Amino acid sequence: MPADEGLALYAAAVEAARLGLPLLEIGTYCGRSTILLADAARRADGDVTVLTVDHHRGSEEQQPGWEYHDPELVDPRVGLMDTLPFFRRALHTAGLEEHVVALVGRSPRIAALWGGRLGLVFVDGGHTDEHARADYEGWAPQLAEGGLLVIHDVFPDPADGGQAPYRIYRRALESGAFAEVSAFRSLRVLRRTGPGV
Ligand X SMILES: C[S@@+](CC[C@H](N)C(=O)[O-])C[C@H]1O[C@@H](n2cnc3c(N)ncnc32)[C@H](O)[C@@H]1O
Per-residue x/- marks for ligand X, 102-131, CB under 6 A?
Answer: ----xx----------------xxx----x
39 makes contact with ligand X (CB under 6 A): no
Q: Which is nearer to ligand X, 15 or 124 (CB)?
A: 124
Q: Which is closer to ligand X, CB of 6 or CB of 146?
A: 6
x/- track of binding to ligand X for residues 2-21 (CB under 6 A) = --------------------
Is 56 catalytic? The answer is no
Q: What is the C-alpha separation between 182 and 154, in angstroms, rounded?
A: 12
Is 42 among the residues that bind ligand X (CB under 6 A)? Answer: no
Q: Is 165 in the site for ligand X (CB under 6 A)?
A: no
Query: Under the criterion CB under 6 A, does residue 133 sit at the interface with ligand X?
Result: no
Q: How far apart are CA 138 and CA 110, in angstroms?
A: 9
Does 54 bind ligand X (CB under 6 A)? Our answer is yes
Question: SS3 of 58, please?
Answer: coil
CA nearest to 37, candidates 111, 83, 87: 87
Q: Apex CA 37: angle with CA 56 and CA 15, to 5°? A: 145
By CB under 6 A, tell whether 186 contacts ligand X: no
Q: Which of 55, 56, 99, 127 is catalytic?
A: 127
